[in-house]
Each structure stands twice: as C-alpha cells, then as structure tokens.
Amino acid sequence: MRIDIITIFPEICLAPLRESIIGRAQETGRVNLRAHDLRDWTHDRHRQVDDLPYGGGPGMVMKPEPFFEAVEALRTPEARVILLTPQGRRFDQAEARRLSAESHLILLCGHYEGIDHRVVEALVDEELSIGDYVLTNGTLAAAVIVDAVVRLLPGVLGDERSAEEESFAAPGVLEGPHYTRPAEFRGMKVPDVLLSGHHARIEAWRRERGLERTRENRPDLQD
Ligand code: ADE
C-alpha cells in the first residue's frame, strides 16, 4: 500500500510511525509512507497556506491552490483522497478494515479554522474524523488512521491472530483481560482458570469477562 500525507507538519505524523510495528512495516516495504510539506506547493516568498475567510469571522482558512497542486502531483488512478476534519464521518475499526483494502491513500490534513470548501468538493473522496473532539489540526488524526490501517495489512502483525481476536473484531464486545507472569504479584493472583490449561473454559471465561468490561466501559456498544 502507498500512503501520502499532505500536511504543514510532516514530522508530527512521521515521528510516531517510525517506531515498532509501523516502522518495520515501512522497512519491509509493506507500506510506502510519505509525508509532504504542503508549503512545497506554494509559490510566494512567505510560503503562505492560509488566508482570511470570505464573509468574515475568526481565524484563517487554508487556501485551495497548494492542496490542488499537491494532489495533482501525487495522485494515481487508484488513489483515494481523504480529508481529516472534525466534520467528517467517524473513523472506527470497520473503516480501518475498509481502507486497508485500498492500494493508495492520500490524506489531507486541515489546520486553523478550516479549509477552502472547493478542496472538499473537487478533490476529496471522503472526510473522516477520529472522534468527537477538536484537535489543532488533522496531522495527528492522519497518524492515528495510518497506524490503524497499516497494522491490518498482510504480514505486518507478527501473529495474525491478534488482529482477529482483538476488541472490535467482534462487533459489540470488548476483549477480556490479559495476564502474564508472575502468577502472584503484590498479593494479586492471576485467575486460576488461566493456569488450568483447559482451553474451552479459558475461552468461555474470556468471553464472559469481555462482556462484563463492555457493560462497564462501553454500554453504548451493546445498544
Ligand atoms: N482535525 C481536527 N480535529 C480532528 C478530528 N477529531 N478528527 C480528524 N481531523 C481533525
């Protein structure tokens, strides 16, 4: 998969994706990830990417020209162009799975108060939000989406089962709790069933505790 991120802060999204699993996915060529500085597609001395809003109001609006030039330079026939914005449809695990089947994503990161709407109308295939809160810009949101999508690509996770068994793979139920050694720590014991070697009972226990955690932390998932 190829992913191009267009942002005024390339380092903000690249830094967290350089480590660990996503870093290795890049090294082994499972993903070709690049972050581009939007200002590279400006032509004035100040490399300006924003301007005053028509109609007045607070803040600045991102100019259309650099986004158009950037997308036109990077686009391939298969590219899916996505704008990160708090006004987008909410990203979740199902969206991550859907995007992991694409071959080329171009992620546009908004900043300031907004982005000239001609970008949305003429360039963008879809708008995504990572949650109902407002970040200072879309760059961290792009990093979140890349992480969630790339770990689903074939060969990226060491143990393929972990992508299947995790929370949200089964809609509406969270994962049960996990334990590792020592079997007793500061008086707290690992549940006996996990030491029993009885796989069917362990499975049933995990399912039950997963449901319990769902009722406690995410009752909305069971509605
Ligand atoms: N930009 C600012 N806030 C955002 C959010 N919640 N999701 C995606 N992009 C954003």
Domains in the chain, ordered, with CATH? 2-150 (3.40.1280.10), 165-222 (1.10.1270.20)
Residue 132 CB less than 6 A away from ligand 1: no
Tens of pLDDT along 85-127? Answer: 999 999 999 999 999 999 999 999 998 679 999 999 999 999 9
Ligand 1: centre distance to CA 129 (Å): 5
Those residues of the chain that have pLDDT short of 50 are none
Distance of alpha carbon 118 from the chain centroid: 25
Q: What pLDDT was estimated at residue 162? A: 67
Q: What pLDDT was estimated at residue 223? A: 75
**Beta 126-129 vs 80-90: how paired, if at all?**
parallel
Q: Which of 129, 136, 147 to mutate to test the pocket of ligand 1 (most atoms within 8 A of CB)?
A: 129
Residues 6+ apart with CB under 8 A from 113: 53, 57, 58, 59, 60, 61
Mean pLDDT rounded to a whole number for the chain: 95
**Beta 2-7 vs 50-51: how paired, if at all?**
unpaired
Q: What are phi and psi of 3, to 5 degrees?
A: -130, 125
Residue 86 CB less than 6 A away from ligand 1: yes
Ligand 1: centre distance to CA 200 (Å): 42
Distance from C-alpha of 182 to C-alpha of 119, rounded to nearest angstrom: 55
Atom of ligand 1 at shortest distance to CA of 131?
Answer: 6
Q: What pLDDT was estimated at residue 181? A: 97
